[in-house]
Amino acid sequence: AQDRARGKEGHVQRRRCAASHLYMEEENETDEYNPIIRPPRLSVERDAPTGDFGHKHHLAATKINMLVRGNLARKEASDHYRRDRNGKVTAIDPKLVGLDGYEEAHFNMPHVDDDRRFAVRDATAREVLQQLGCQEFSKYGVDFEGNAFQIINALGTATSGGSAIPEQVRQQMAMTSLFMGEKLDTPVCADDDSTKPNRQAIERRKYLLGQSDCLAVPVRADYSSQFKALSRPKPNADSSPSSKKDGNACGFAEWFWVIHAAAPNIGESTYADDWPVYVLPDPEPEPITESNAEAPEIKCCWKPKDANVYQRLDEPLYLAHMLAIWKAILTAMTRLGVEDAVLFPFGMGAFLRHLSRNDEKYCDEDKMRNLRRRVADQVMEAICVIEKMPEQDHVAVSDRGAAFPKRVHFCLACAGIEGVENHNAFVEAAGAKSKEYPRLKSLLKFRQNVCALQLSQELATSLGDPLKVAMLNGANRKLIGNHWFQSGARLAIDENIHRRSVSMSRISLLLNMGTEPSERRANELRGNLLWFGGHVVTPSSGKAEPSQQGSADKATGKSEAADKATGKSEATDKATDKSEATATDKMTAKEAKAK
């Protein structure tokens, strides 16, 4: 009975905590940071009130209905790229637009069977749990969600995350940096209720990673593009740095950076997360009430249309935000002092695939192709702007200096029509920009049908200095790595690179503090990273904020200094008392002699 009472009390307390964090505007900087530990949603809470369906349950039911409708729409609507344009679009050779030829080119991307893909996923999940301290596994498989919750729950009793994680993970976390980006301006529609403070808090607390933030994590790849194990040097057999020097890059031989960034999602489905931010409502046209004079009789014709048929994309705002995000990505790579940057068509895949469902203007193939080209133009503009900045304007986050990458590699997959159009958009944009800025011609390296993760590992292995390669990843803003430990998203870049890198997956699990998207506190990623001993870099100064471990060390030093000062004062008091006692004894002896 006591256990049931405690369980019920804990359930009510969790609900109250969630509500308080939902409407809390800002964190108190003076309070000590404590991370929130959230159990998996699939776990059953004891003594939960049955039949008590509140606002949260209705939101969940609405989301389930949206997912069902989205799946049905995807099955009913065939992909017009594959149906109408198969074989009609070919990749443009960079030499035709005045650029150098391919640095590397393959006929297609390697094919991987699902059995091998899921076997690698399970092996990575098991190794992540083992390196974080979990030793007991079921003989029937790996319950990643349950075991991960036990690991994270054990961290809740620690004063700081850095003292509760293994040494190899602590070294990696000490090198991890969060580059806080500038806040992007987002207009608010007049008929939207997002002007209310609570509504703004709800929308903001959905995400862990900011729209223009970049998270830099040192990693190494464990599996190739064919999901085959890569040979690793002996000191790095457990995906850990080979040196115990915290804050130093010399222990990360053959490691490279992964920059987690998020692109706006405006076309993944009819219910794309970021579509309301970039929508321009178009007034609905007046219905035609007159009948056609040539028709003998009036006929009623019904044509099914999407709910967003009268909405239009604010294309200038979308392109401005893409330019700002690309500048933030390249600035982060510059401050890290990398020599090779590995990029891909960021945000131009699934996030633009079904944009025509939200804005019917993009049913026109020419307009859709023009949008992709304009996005590629923003990338080239960002490269030229950051590369032309004086070297003294780049603020380094370490003692290794800051400079723009010497080589920028674009990994362009041409497996489908969508990939070919993205390929052509980047090649054409680079050819046009190189006429204005000739330095771009020697800076860019195009690679056709090349895996970005494997290329980054090969470049990091060939270079002598550690952490001189940075790879871009299109991360999920709600959960870094998304559900890589599950069966979905077989071809998505965020999930696939996590399945092939143990060092990347373990850091993502710790910073997510869970395995499910949930309501987030303000600046929760920043707080989690500082709690584990990482660094946060402000956008203007480029200086890293001290971690909670460093603050604790400073406080300990101050207390020790105070104790020393107290000891000195006590010694002075003792000396004074001793001298006074001696003087008193002498006076007493003189008085006795006189008597």
pLDDT at 210 exceeding the cut of 80: yes
Structure letter (DSSP) for residue 477: S
pLDDT of residue 64: 81
Q: Does residue 548 or residue 418 have the better pLDDT?
A: 418
pLDDT at 286 exceeding the cut of 80: no
Nearest partner of 36 among 205, 176, 197, 262, judged by Cα: 205
Q: Give strand pairing partners of 535.
A: 177
pLDDT of residue 198: 45
Please count the other Cβ atoms lying within 10 Å of the Cβ belonging to residue 499.
25
Nearest partner of 471 among 210, 255, 169, judged by Cα: 255
Structure letter (DSSP) for residue 279: E
Q: Does residue 161 or residue 179 have the better pLDDT?
A: 179
399: which residues sit within 8 A by CB, 6+ positions away? none
Whether residue 358 contacts residue 308, with contact meaning beta carbons closer than 8 Å, is answered with yes
Longest dimension (CA), the chain: 147
From its phi and psi, is residue 176 left (phi > 0), alpha (psi between -120 and 50) or beta? Answer: beta
Confidence of residue 247 (pLDDT cuts 50, 70, 90): very low
Segment 302-325 shows an average pLDDT of: 79
Identity (one letter) of the amino acid at 151? I
Helix H segments across 437-486? Answer: 439-443, 452-462
pLDDT of residue 462: 93
List pLDDT tens digits, range 64-85: 877 776 665 555 554 544 455 5
Q: Measure the CA–CA gap between 456 and 257, rounded to whole angstroms.
A: 9
Encoding tokens for residue 377? 């133009």
Please count the other Cβ atoms lying within 10 Å of the Cβ belonging to residue 501.
26
Going across the sheet that includes 104-105, the strands are 104-105, 444-448, 407-412, 340-343, 469-474, 256-261, 214-219, 177-179, 535-537, 544-545
pLDDT of residue 245: 38
Least confident of 131-135, 378-382, 397-401: 397-401
**CA atoms 388, 391, 393, 398: torsion sign:** positive
Segment 95-99 shows an average pLDDT of: 93
Structure letter (DSSP) for residue 463: S
- What does pTM read for this prediction? 0.77
Least confident of 152-161, 163-172, 480-489: 152-161
Q: Measure the CA–CA gap between 405 and 450, rounded to whole angstroms.
A: 20
**217 phi/psi in degrees, rounded to 5:** -125, 130
Query: 315: burial class by Cβ within 10 Å (0-12, 13-18, 19+)?
Result: middle
**In a 3-state reduction of DSSP, which class is residue 141?**
strand
Owner of token pair 């401050």: 335
Q: Measure the CA–CA gap between 506 and 485, rounded to whole angstroms.
A: 12
pLDDT at 173 exceeding the cut of 80: yes
If you average pLDDT over each of 240-254, 304-318, 404-418, which comes out highest? 404-418
pLDDT of residue 473: 97
Average pLDDT, the chain: 78
Whether residue 208 contacts residue 479, with contact meaning beta carbons closer than 8 Å, is answered with yes
Whether residue 153 contacts residue 186, with contact meaning beta carbons closer than 8 Å, is answered with no
Length of the chain: 595
pLDDT at 544 exceeding the cut of 90: no
Least confident of 102-111, 183-192, 529-538: 183-192
Least confident of 58-67, 168-177, 546-555: 546-555
Least confident of 26-30, 346-350, 463-467: 26-30
pLDDT of residue 301: 53
Q: Does residue 83 or residue 237 have the better pLDDT?
A: 83
Identity (one letter) of the amino acid at 223? Y
Q: In degrees to the nearest 10, what's the CA dihedral of 266, 431, 491, 356?
A: 30
pLDDT of residue 415: 83
Encoding tokens for residue 357? 């469902």
Q: What are the angstrom distances between the C-alpha of 522 and each of 26, 327, 528?
A: 6, 24, 11
